[in-house]
Amino acid sequence: MAKKQPFRNLDAEYAKAANTGDAAQVAALYSKDAIFMMPETPAYKGTKGVRASAQAAIDAGWRNIKFKTIKSGSDGDLAFNIGSVSMDQPSESGMTKVTGKYLDVYRRQKDGSWKIIATMYNSDKPAK
């Protein structure tokens, strides 16, 4: 049986942090030079940018974030996850379930831990 790749745990850690409103913990999953790309916004850079983006999503009412890995892999000190994501977002009619997809790229740190160095996310449907 294949050993679970340690970087794959970061999806669950991200969801837990975001769903409890902890933008600082979301940012802690990223490297200092990370790039965070979301739809209809400029790219956020570094942990400060990731924290600002995460806090904006939390403040906007994004809740119940869930990730499902579709494909992952690694080679040396780099790894990736490709997956689907769902979350509840406020809308004019209350909360709306939004689905999308994401790509995370990870780099193994000197201490052996993994940090996200790039995230790209977009929704399956255009924003309303």
Q: Tell me: the pLDDT tens digits for 57-81?
A: 999 999 999 999 999 999 999 999 9
End-to-end CA distance of the chain: 44
Read off the DSSP letter of residue 42.
Answer: P
Position 2 pLDDT exceeds 80: no
CATH number of the structural domain 6-123: 3.10.450.50
Q: What is the pLDDT of residues 90-107, one digit of tens each?
A: 888 888 999 999 999 999
What is the reported pLDDT for 24?
A: 97
Find, among 70, 56, 6, 60, the residue nearest to 26 by Cα: 56
Q: Alpha carbon of 105 to those of 22, 31, 32, 77, 92: distances in Å?
A: 21, 11, 14, 11, 34
Confidence check: pLDDT of 56 > 80: yes
- Sign of CA pseudo-dihedral 85, 16, 118, 79: negative
Segments making up each domain of the chain, as ranges: 6-123
Work out the pLDDT band at 128, boundaries 50, 70, 90: low
Considering only residues 39 and 83, tell me which one the structure prediction assigns the higher pLDDT: 83
Residues 21-39 have pLDDT tens digits of 999 999 999 999 999 998 8
Q: What is the pLDDT of residue 4?
A: 58
